[in-house]
Amino acid sequence: MKEVKSPKRPLIYYYLIVMVILLLFNMLAVPWITEHQIKEVDYGTFISMTENGEVGKAEIQEQDNRILFTDKDETTIYKTAMVNDPDLTARLYAADVKFYGVEIEQTSLLVQILAWVLPLVIFIGIGQLMSKKLMEKAGGTNSMMFNMGKSNAKVYVKSSDGIKFSDVAGEDEAKENLQEIVDYLHDPSKYREIGASMPKGVLLVGPPGTGKTLLAKAVAGESNVPFFSMSGSEFVEMFVGMGASKVRDLFRQAKEKAPCIVFIDEIDAIGGKRDGRVGGNDEREQTLNQLLTEMDGFEGNTGVIILAATNRPESLDPALTRPGRFDRRVPVELPDLKGREEILKVHARKVKIAEDVDFNKIARMASGASGAELANIVNEAALRAVRQGRRFATQADLEESIEVVIAGYQKKNAIMSDHEKRIVAYHEIGHALVAAKQTNSAPVQKITIVPRTSGALGYTMQVEEGNHYLMNKEELENKIATYTGGRAAEEVVFGSVTTGASNDIEQATKLARAMITRYGMSDAFDMVAMETVTNQYLGGDTSLACSPETQTLIDKKVVELVKQQHDKAVRILTENREKLDELAGFLYEKETITGEEFMAILEG
C-alpha cells in the first residue's frame, strides 16, 4: 500500500479510478434493480392469484416479513406483506407454485463482502498496474515517485569539467579551511596515524550569492570522492517521518561509500531551532533529530565529511552547532576589492572581452556586490555587447552593466519634466558636494540622472578607497551628512522639499541609530548595547533590548544626531552655492558627470 500513499502520484489518477468503479457499479447493478419493477399488492390479491393459478414462483422472505412472487410467465414481480397464514404452504402446493424460503442473511452477507472487497481489489490492482507503467516510463529505480523515504541525493563523481578551487575567486580563508578536508579525504590514513580526527561537520556561513554552494562543489571536484548533495528543503515532506527516513537513507549510503562528502545546502530549512511552539513543525523536528542522531552515530574517522551551507547561522539549533557535529564554521563573506577583481576575472574568462578592460576600476565601482552579482555583471556586459553588434565586451559594457545590475535597467523613455530633472540634478550634486567637502568621505565615481526601472531617479556611485574595516565617529557622522545632502540641496535651492529623499532618510536614520544603540557613540549610553543584531547575514535586522524610557531617549538622540548633520550639510551647500549651481547645471545638461569632471569643476 506504500504507493497508494505516495504524495507524488497525481491524485487525479485515484479520482479517475474511483469514478470508473462507481460507473461500472451503477451500470451493472442499478438496471438490474430498476428493470424488474416490483409491484406491491395486498395479501388478498396474492391469495386469489394463487388460487387462480396465476402465480409462477414465490419466494418467502421470512426475514423481511414479505413474500415476493411472479406471475406465470415470470415477467412481473409482485411483493406483499406476510400475514400469519398457517395454510400458506398448503395453498401454494395446491396451486402448483414453485416456492422456497430464502436464507437471506447468508447470501446478502456474501454479496456485501463482495461489494466491498471487489472494488478494493480492482482499485489496488489498477494502482499497481499504473505504478508499474509509470515506473518504467520514469526509468526504473531513478523514479522519485515510488521511492518514498529514499534520500534521492544527487551523487557527483569527479568529472573533467568539475568545479575546482580555481573557479572560486577570493575567499582565500574559506578555501584554506576546506583544502585541509580535501587532503584528509585523499589520504585519511595520514591523519589516523597521528590520531587526529577531522571535524565531522563543516558549516559554510555567509550572505546569499557569496559562493557557498560553489565552494562545496569545488571541494567535491578537488577531492575525488563521491559527493552526495541535497538541499535542506528536500527533506521536508508531506508526511511525518519521511524526512527522517530520508536522512537515515542518505547516511546509510554515505557510510557504504566512505570516504565521501555529504553536502546539505540551505540547512536552515531543517536545522532551525526547535522552539517547542504549539503546532510547530513536527516533521521538521523529527528530521532534525534524525540528523543529530546520525551525526553522532559514526566515528570521526570513518571518512564521511558533512558539509552544510546556510545564510542564517543564528537560526540554527544549538545542538547542531555544538562540538562533535558541525564544529567547524567557515565564514564566506562578501568579497573585498581584491576578491571582487578576481571574481570578475574568473567570470570574464568565460566571455570574450576587450584586452584593455580595467577590472580594478570595475571592482571599485561595484563595491558591496556579491560574487553572484559580479558574475551577473559580466554576463550583462556580454549581452550588451551582443545587442550593440560587437564581438566582445568592452569597459563601457561592464561599467554600464554594473549600473544595470545594481540600479536596474536604464529606462528608455521615462518622461521626467524639466523641473523634475533640475531638482534631481541638484539633489544628487547635493549628496556629492557634501561628501567631497568633508575631507574624510569618499569622492564620487559617477553621478547619473537617467531614470532606472528600479525607480531611482538619480544614482550616485561612491568609490571606496581600499578596504575599510573600522570607521570612526567622524566618518560615520559625515556619512549621515552626505545622506542628508540631497534634501539639503533641495531646501537651499528651491526652498521646498520633495519625496525623493525617502531612501536617504531611511539610511541616515539607520546609521544614526546604530551609532547610538550599537556602536556606543553617544555620551548618553556609554558602552551599553541597546540593540542586538538578530539577522546578521540577511539584512541585519535588529531588536531593541531596553526599557521604554530608554527607547524614548534613543529616539530623541537619533533625531538630534541627524538634525545636527543635516544642518551641517545645509551649511556646506550654502557656503558653496556657486559650485553647487555650476555642478548641477553640468549634470542637468549632460545627465552624467564623472568623478574627474566633478573634481575639475570643484577645484577649478
What residues are labeled active site? 428
Give the C-alpha separation, 537 to 310, whole Å.
10
- Interhelix angle for 11-35 vs 104-138, to 10°? 150
Quick one: which segment of 162-170, 213-221, 399-407, 573-581 binds Mg ion (CB under 5 A)? 213-221
- Interhelix angle for 577-590 vs 473-494, to 10°? 80
Q: Say whether residue 372 binds ligand ADP (CB under 6 A).
A: yes
Q: Residue 309 CB, nearest distance to ligand ADP (Å)?
A: 6
Give which of Zn ion, Mg ion, ligand ADP, none residue 226 binds (C-beta under 5 to 8 Å, depending on kind). none
Of 209, 313, 486, 595, which one interacts with Zn ion (CB under 5 A)?
Answer: 486
Total of residues contacting ligand ADP (CB under 6 A): 17
Residue 199 or 371 having the CB closest to ligand ADP: 371
The answer to whether 410 touches 380, Cβ cutoff 8 Å, is: no
Q: Say whether residue 168 binds ligand ADP (CB under 6 A).
A: yes
Give which of ligand ADP, Zn ion, Mg ion, none residue 372 binds (C-beta under 5 to 8 Å, depending on kind). ligand ADP
Give which of Mg ion, ligand ADP, Zn ion, none residue 486 binds (C-beta under 5 to 8 Å, depending on kind). Zn ion
Residue 213 or 462 having the CB closest to Mg ion: 213
- DSSP H/E element including 252: helix 242-257
- Contacts with Zn ion in 500-559 (CB under 5 A)? 504
Residue 207 or 486 having the CB closest to Zn ion: 486
Of 221, 226, 371, 430, which one interacts with ligand ADP (CB under 6 A)?
Answer: 371
Give the C-alpha separation, 386 to 405, whole Å.
17
Residue 213 or 460 having the CB closest to Mg ion: 213
Residue 63 DSSP class: T
- DSSP H/E element including 228: strand 227-231
The b-or-e profile of 536-553 (16+ CB within 10 A means b, else e) is ebeeeebeeeeeeebeeb
Quick one: which segment of 10-18, 164-172, 443-451, 533-541 binds ligand ADP (CB under 6 A)? 164-172
Give the C-alpha separation, 449 to 425, whole Å.
7
Residue, CB closest to Mg ion: 213
Q: Which of 211, 188, 209, 186 is nearest to 198 (CA)?
A: 188
Give the C-alpha separation, 430 to 146, whole Å.
65
The answer to whether 518 touches 531, Cβ cutoff 8 Å, is: yes
Give the C-alpha separation, 395 to 344, whole Å.
12
- Contacts with ligand ADP in 170-189 (CB under 6 A)? 170-171
Largest CA distance in the chain: 137
Helices (H), 393-526: 395-407, 418-437, 473-494, 502-517
Residue 403 or 504 having the CB closest to Zn ion: 504
Give which of Mg ion, Zn ion, ligand ADP, none residue 346 binds (C-beta under 5 to 8 Å, depending on kind). ligand ADP
Binding mask 256-295 for Mg ion (x = CB under 5 A): ----------------------------------------
- DSSP H/E element including 220: helix 212-223
Collapsed DSSP state (helix, strand, coil) of residue 101: strand
Q: Residue 590 CB, nearest distance to ligand ADP (Å)?
A: 35
Q: Residue 414 CB, nearest distance to Zn ion (Å)?
A: 18
Quick one: which segment of 19-27, 107-115, 167-175, 407-415 binds ligand ADP (CB under 6 A)? 167-175
Listed in sequence order, the residues at least 6 apart from 292 whose beta carbon sits closer than 8 Å to its beta carbon are: 319, 320, 325
- Contacts with ligand ADP in 191-230 (CB under 6 A)? 208-214
Give the C-alpha separation, 517 to 533, whole Å.
11
Residue 333 or 597 having the CB closest to ligand ADP: 333
The answer to whether 324 touches 296, Cβ cutoff 8 Å, is: yes
Q: Which cell numbers hold the place of 50?
A: 394463487
Q: Residue 308 CB, nearest distance to Mg ion (Å)?
A: 11
- Interhelix angle for 473-494 vs 502-517, to 10°? 150
Annotate 8-55 with DSSP letters as a single string: TS-HHHHHHHHHHHHHHHHHHHHHHHHHSPEEE--HHHHHHHHHTT-E
Quick one: which segment of 58-66, 284-292, 371-379, 424-432 binds ligand ADP (CB under 6 A)? 371-379
Q: Residue 217 CB, nearest distance to ligand ADP (Å)?
A: 8
In this structure, what are the phi and psi dihedrals at residue 96, rounded to the nearest 5 degrees? 60, 40
Give the C-alpha separation, 568 to 477, whole Å.
10
Give which of Mg ion, ligand ADP, Zn ion, none residue 504 binds (C-beta under 5 to 8 Å, depending on kind). Zn ion
- Interhelix angle for 371-387 vs 337-348, to 10°? 40
Q: Say whether residue 294 binds Zn ion (CB under 5 A).
A: no
Give the C-alpha separation, 497 to 488, whole Å.
9
Q: Which cell numbers hold the place of 175?
A: 578555501
Residue 351 or 372 having the CB closest to Mg ion: 372
- Contacts with ligand ADP in 418-457 (CB under 6 A)? none
Q: Residue 169 CB, nearest distance to ligand ADP (Å)?
A: 4
Q: Which cell numbers hold the place of 374?
A: 559580479
Residue 174 or 424 having the CB closest to ligand ADP: 174
- Contacts with ligand ADP in 322-351 (CB under 6 A)? 343, 346
Q: Residue 516 CB, nearest distance to Mg ion (Å)?
A: 35
Binding mask 526-565 for Mg ion (x = CB under 5 A): ----------------------------------------
Residue 207 or 595 having the CB closest to Mg ion: 207
Q: Residue 332 CB, nearest distance to ligand ADP (Å)?
A: 6
Q: What type of residue is 449? A: I
Q: Residue 425 CB, nearest distance to Zn ion (Å)?
A: 12
Q: Residue 201 CB, nearest distance to Mg ion (Å)?
A: 17
Residues that bind ligand ADP (CB under 6 A): 168-171, 208-214, 309, 343, 346, 371-372, 375
Where does this chain bind Mg ion (CB under 5 A)? 213
**Interface positions with Zn ion (CB under 5 A):** 486, 504
